[in-house]
Chain A
Amino acid sequence: MPLVLPDIDWLTLAPLLVLLSTASLAALYALYNRSSKAVALLALLGLAVAAIFNLQLFVASRAGELRSSFGLRYLADQGALAFNFVILLGAALAILISYDYLKRAELEQPEYYPLMLLSASGAMVMAAAGDLIILLLGLEIMSLAVYVLSAWRQQARESAEAGMKYFLLGAFASAFLIYGIALIYGATGFFSYPQIVAGLLAEGFEQIFLATLGGIMILAGLGFKVALVPFHQWAPDVYTGAPTPVTAFMSVVVKTAAFAALLRIFAFIYPELGVLAVQSLVVLIALTLIVGNFTALVQRGIKRMLAYSAVAHAGYLALAVLAAGNLGMRAAIWYLTAYTLMNAGAFAVLTLLSDRNDHGDDLERFAGLARSRPYLAAAMTVFLLSLAGIPLLAGFVGKILVFSAAIEAGYVSLTVIAIITSVVAMVYYLRPVMYMYFREPEYEPLQTNSRSTHIAIGIAVFGTVLLGIFPGWWYSLLDLGQSLLAGL
């Protein structure tokens, strides 16, 4: 048997390699220089360089030059590159939020930043995967780093438990994912998406049951990562127990990567599987929308409320997955961009309001905030209103795009559920706003300030408003007319 060496396109891999080498160099550098500042700056620099490479690839792909590596297994099409931007943005915001937070909480260890970079690089691998093995590797690279990060507060039981719980359930979920991959491999004999589709469509294909079962298991594994009900059990505990910047990172970057992977396999493989595979996602979405929104309604702690809100948003995003294909992909990327900005922003505000042990995030603490810290209250209001989907903010446009994509794909009743639940969601998003503006303060507010966090909040507010008022430019850039794999 002749040995075929894989083709390697270094430019395609450049953003990824930049992140990886920055992370390993930063880890070594951290051995000799324990200054977090230097390592954090190095990490931000790495993200910036990766973004520049990504931009170069993106411009090239707009001009019709589509690159890939390892024989269509690592893709740099417009979808993957746009997702890379969102991932890099999310990671940069998380690092900015982390810097002063870690100092204040006495958790300052320079290894934190390389781990975050590694996790982001895993996320990029997932977005670029054109092969189930690559998808799995990306998922593991991303998750293993996040498990450790969520246990970063070593002295606090909540954090240690968050890490352990996330790890155990995550290992469980990735076992399902691997089993699903194995079943699809067993049914079709291939791992890469085009070959799987070819195998499924081949004359005399009989293993449709195995393949469908595999598809459902993959859905369960990825559904865990994005916290679709009923795979969301870990989310509230882990989101609450992990240090707040890590929660921001998890809710933003991990979700983006898992949805990127889900969108791609849904666009390609799932239409060829049994109808059960798509039906099960419909059920998951309906459950997620209802359970996520109604449970968020009864939470007192803002961090926990945001955790359930993250679950609910996974439901909206999954609607776009159902409408996979050009329209759904565009809507999902747009939504994730907005979601990254507003969610990371909300968590950033939260780091400034809660004490160094992440306590004191209950609703009462928000009372009268508009008077004591007007700018912070205004920023939080923007984020919450955007999450709720108020017009002229990014979240609203995202919801419109996703809903219209879902209606286009014929899921009208599900969209109706989504619209009704997003009206319910207004209640829990507007409640903190009411507290901030119309209540007398009950506690002396903390006067925590942090330059880097302020920068992150500034970027997030700017982005949320900009995308809300001028949604067109980013959407038109996402015209995914050309893709390496047919069907997208």
Chain B
Amino acid sequence: MLTLNHFLALGAILFAIGLYGLLSRRNLVAILMSVEILLNAILVNVVAIARFNDQAQGDVFALFIIAIAAAEVAVGLALFLNVFRLNGVATVDPLRRMKE
């Protein structure tokens, strides 16, 4: 039988994948995508919990997560465009310059 723990595990695995992408990819767009994976991993958790608890609060939270993800990606893309315009590359490498 599929229990809540299976869904939580799926969420955790997705979260780990997103985390890995966030830390290992150098392309900024790929990093943005990893952030989306992170949020979607949580979304899986939340929706599963809401369904197993049979209550609507979790679904409301899921909607908010979707909206937050969209807002984040919009701002992130805008910032990315700015970096891209200045540096001409889409990777994080130039961002390391400030580390002393």
Chain A residue numbers with a CB within 8 Å of B35 are 168, 171-172, 175
Chain A residue numbers with a CB within 8 Å of B99 are 237
Using known A-B contacts A157-B94, A175-B38, A175-B42, determine if residue A148 contacts B75 with beta carbons closer than 8 Å: yes
Chain B residue numbers with a CB within 8 Å of A162 are 98
The 3 closest A-B pairs by CB, nearest first: A175-B38, A186-B49, A171-B35
What distance in Å separates the Cβ of B38 from its nearest Cβ neighbour in chain A?
A: 4
A157–B80 touching, CB < 8 Å = no
**Chain B residues numbered 35-57 whose CB sits less than 8 Å from any CB in chain A:** 35, 38-39, 41-42, 45-46, 49, 53, 55, 57
Interface flag for A161 (CB, 8 Å): yes
A contact residues vs B (CB 8 Å cutoff): 133, 136-137, 140, 144, 147-148, 151, 154-155, 157-158, 160-165, 167-168, 171-172, 174-175, 178-179, 181-183, 185-186, 189-191, 237, 240-241
A160–B22 touching, CB < 8 Å = no
- Complex CA–CA separation, A136 to B78 (angstroms): 22
B contact residues vs A (CB 8 Å cutoff): 4, 8, 11, 15, 18, 22, 28, 31, 35, 38-39, 41-42, 45-46, 49, 53, 55, 57-58, 60-61, 64-65, 68, 71-72, 75-76, 78-80, 82-83, 86-87, 94-95, 97-99
What distance in Å separates the Cβ of B31 from its nearest Cβ neighbour in chain A?
A: 6
What distance in Å separates the Cβ of B66 from its nearest Cβ neighbour in chain A?
A: 11
Dominant secondary structure of chain A at its interface with chain B: helix
A-B contact pairs, 28 of them (CB 8 A): A137-B64, A144-B71, A148-B75, A148-B79, A157-B94, A157-B97, A160-B79, A161-B83, A161-B94, A161-B95, A161-B98, A164-B28, A164-B82, A168-B22, A171-B76, A172-B38, A175-B39, A175-B42, A179-B15, A179-B42, A182-B42, A185-B46, A185-B58, A186-B4, A186-B8, A189-B49, A189-B55, A191-B57
Using known A-B contacts A148-B78, A175-B38, determine if residue A164 contacts B71 with beta carbons closer than 8 Å: no
A182–B45 touching, CB < 8 Å = yes
A154–B82 touching, CB < 8 Å = yes
4 further A-B contacts with Cβ under 8 Å, apart from A163-B79, A167-B72, are A136-B64, A172-B22, A181-B61, A186-B4
- Complex CA–CA separation, A164 to B31 (angstroms): 11
- Complex CA–CA separation, A360 to B97 (angstroms): 19
- Complex CA–CA separation, A136 to B72 (angstroms): 13
B61–A133 touching, CB < 8 Å = yes
Chain B residue numbers with a CB within 8 Å of A158 are 98
- Complex CA–CA separation, A136 to B42 (angstroms): 14
Chain A residue numbers with a CB within 8 Å of B86 are 155, 157, 160
Chain A residue numbers with a CB within 8 Å of B18 are 175
Q: Which residue in chain B gives the minimum CB-CB distance to A161?
A: B95
Dominant secondary structure of chain B at its interface with chain A: helix
Residue of A133, A151, A182, A189 contacting most chain B CB atoms (<10 Å): A182
Chain B residue numbers with a CB within 8 Å of A161 are 83, 94-95, 97-98
Using known A-B contacts A178-B65, A185-B46, A237-B98, determine if residue A168 contacts B31 with beta carbons closer than 8 Å: yes
Q: Which residue in chain A gives the minimum CB-CB distance to B57?
A: A191
Chain A residue numbers with a CB within 8 Å of B49 are 182, 185-186, 189
- Complex CA–CA separation, A136 to B61 (angstroms): 10
Chain A residue numbers with a CB within 8 Å of B72 are 140, 144, 167, 171, 174
Q: Which residue in chain A gives the minimum CB-CB distance to B31?
A: A168
Using known A-B contacts A144-B72, A148-B79, determine if residue A164 contacts B42 with beta carbons closer than 8 Å: no
Residue of A148, A158, A185 contacting most chain B CB atoms (<10 Å): A185
- Complex CA–CA separation, A137 to B63 (angstroms): 12
What distance in Å separates the Cβ of B18 from its nearest Cβ neighbour in chain A?
A: 8
B64–A164 touching, CB < 8 Å = no
A240–B42 touching, CB < 8 Å = no
Q: Which residue in chain A gives the minimum CB-CB distance to B37?
A: A175
Q: Which residue in chain B gives the minimum CB-CB distance to A163?
A: B79
- Complex CA–CA separation, A154 to B87 (angstroms): 12
Q: Which residue in chain B gives the minimum CB-CB distance to A179?
A: B42
- Complex CA–CA separation, A137 to B66 (angstroms): 12
